[in-house]
Structure 1
């Protein structure tokens, strides 16, 4: 009987795997810039429509929820009266648009309401549409103090370490949450000076998500630059298409201690695929935090804006997640501010207000 049950479960998992493979779609990419044809995207999402004016070279991709407009050959697009920059322009060839990765991502994250899991692989864009998700009601906040233990992170000229400042702010934030929103469970990925692998941090977050339901993940860090004049805070959400070269370098700096464990194919696939729903909500969360931090920290610490990059600590998270670079320890004045308790309290309060605004705006 036991053998029959094992065999039955084997068949169930086998056919479930076949169904999952069939549900995924591989769209070919073109050139080293990984362009995809709009008609290939539209085949999977018929609600998307396009238009093109050959006289002005202005194109648009429309969805019932909104419209993205761009000029062929230009490195900008507009959405909801906001102008966004992309690394390479949209092209028009054989009566169809060739979309670069950043604009394809914008379709999934900014324009469409569907939850699309997607990943750029060699010569293909692999994607699948996930079932619709219920609206969030936050049950748990995961606060991740960056670095720790044998990994100090960056440091100021006088020895103030990133790991210490991140933990100080994390503890203040936890106390405020417990006072203002006692119904929300607050979990620190590290409550003391302990080294935790980056992938372990997202595992802790996902475990809490499974136990409690809807959660948010906030990772706290300090930045550094070889240019001592660079300063300011910035908020990141996960993306395979970094906003800027600086964003890419920041991600490389924060990812440097990751040592992947295990070689499970399924685990690698899950870590590689991105959910547009989680990205969409992470982007809203990042913007809400940036707005509140700007109100409370400027002019002491200026905003460098909301950015996107491929952070390992965010990649495995199954919930909306952001990484907060609170300021530059390599900047003499800002380094002193970040060590100041009153400034740390301002950061914590602005994060709480930002999460409150996120709750109102996320849907």
Structure 2
């Protein structure tokens, strides 16, 4: 049984709601938690042990990124996956992204599996990829990617600043499809690296 830490981005409506849709008022923190809970359900059904860095709509202490990475490290996670919604000043910006820390790590393997599953689930959505190093993930020194000991990736599911994608992010059926895709990407990763990590 593998141990997977799922990180619902941001911390809640009053402390750190993340991006907010100008069209629906939908908050990134709420979407991230909804999808994360679904991912947990699917991974548990597949036999994995799952912890979330927050499980409520309002958990101010999780606004500290150090808390999130320490939580994952102390628990001994085998993987860390952070879920977010994107936003841009240009309303036409759209698509999904999967990020890892710089360099070639096991996080790249994880990100590729997740990217491929999201692309397969949503062939009509634009995958904002960077193939300059041979795989689709983008790279950045995001705190939660650099300071987690486990292979890690960060998923930007879609843009709250895009009217069409904001409506998709608000749709329960779409959230469920995204959660299934993310969970499949994670189980694909364990299939590649050898299954259970015990």
What's the TM-score bracket when you normalise by the shorter of the two chains?
0.7 to 0.9
In structure 1, how many angstroms separate the alpha carbons of the residues matched to 2:2 and 2:46? Answer: 14
Structure 2 partner of 1:176: 42
Q: After the TM superposition, which residues 242-281 of structure 1 pair with which residues of structure 2 at under 5 Å, given as runs?
A: 279-281=104-106
In structure 2, how many angstroms separate the alpha carbons of the residues matched to 1:339 and 1:146? Answer: 16
Q: After the TM superposition, which residues 27-38 of structure 1 pair with which residues of structure 2 at under 5 Å, given as runs?
A: none
Instruction: Identify the structure with bigger relative contact order (alpha carbons < 8 Å, sequence gap 6+).
Output: 2
**Aligned partners of 1:232 and 1:303 also within 8 Å:** yes
TM-superposed CA distance for 1:313, in Å, is: 1.7
Structure 1 partner of 2:99: 236
Residue 206 in structure 1 maps to residue 73 in structure 2: yes
Structure 1 partner of 2:87: 224
Q: After the TM superposition, which residues 43-192 of structure 1 pair with which residues of structure 2 at under 5 Å, given as runs?
A: 139-149=2-12, 150-157=15-22, 158-181=24-47, 184-192=48-56
TM-superposed CA distance for 1:155, in Å, is: 0.8
Which consecutive unaligned segments of at least 5 residues does structure 1 have?
1-137, 240-275
Structure 1 partner of 2:120: 295
- TM-score of the two chains, using structure 1 as the length reference: 0.48
In structure 1, how many angstroms separate the alpha carbons of the residues matched to 2:34 and 2:184? Answer: 19
Structure 1 partner of 2:191: 360
TM-superposed CA distance for 1:315, in Å, is: 1.6
TM-superposed CA distance for 1:345, in Å, is: 0.9
* Among 110, 113, 129, the residue aligned to 1:285: 110
In structure 2, how many angstroms separate the alpha carbons of the residues matched to 1:308 and 1:185? Answer: 27
TM-superposed CA distance for 1:175, in Å, is: 1.3
- Structure with larger Rg: 1
TM-superposed CA distance for 1:314, in Å, is: 1.7
**Aligned partners of 1:281 and 1:362 also within 8 Å:** no
Question: Hey, which of these two has a bigger chunk of strand by percent?
Answer: 1
TM-superposed CA distance for 1:176, in Å, is: 1.4
TM-superposed CA distance for 1:139, in Å, is: 2.1
In structure 2, how many angstroms separate the alpha carbons of the residues matched to 1:229 and 1:291? Answer: 23
Aligned partner of residue 94 in structure 2, secondary structure: coil
In structure 1, how many angstroms separate the alpha carbons of the residues matched to 2:175 and 2:192? Answer: 26
Aligned partner of residue 303 in structure 1, secondary structure: coil
Residue 335 in structure 1 maps to residue 166 in structure 2: yes
Structure 2 partner of 1:51: none
In structure 1, how many angstroms separate the alpha carbons of the residues matched to 2:100 and 2:193? Answer: 15
In structure 2, how many angstroms separate the alpha carbons of the residues matched to 1:356 and 1:198? Answer: 26
Structure 1 partner of 2:152: 321
Which consecutive unaligned segments of at least 5 residues does structure 2 have?
130-136
Aligned partner of residue 222 in structure 1, secondary structure: strand
Task: Give the CA RMSD over aligned residues.
Answer: 1.4
Structure 1 partner of 2:133: none
In structure 2, how many angstroms separate the alpha carbons of the residues matched to 1:167 and 1:360? Answer: 26
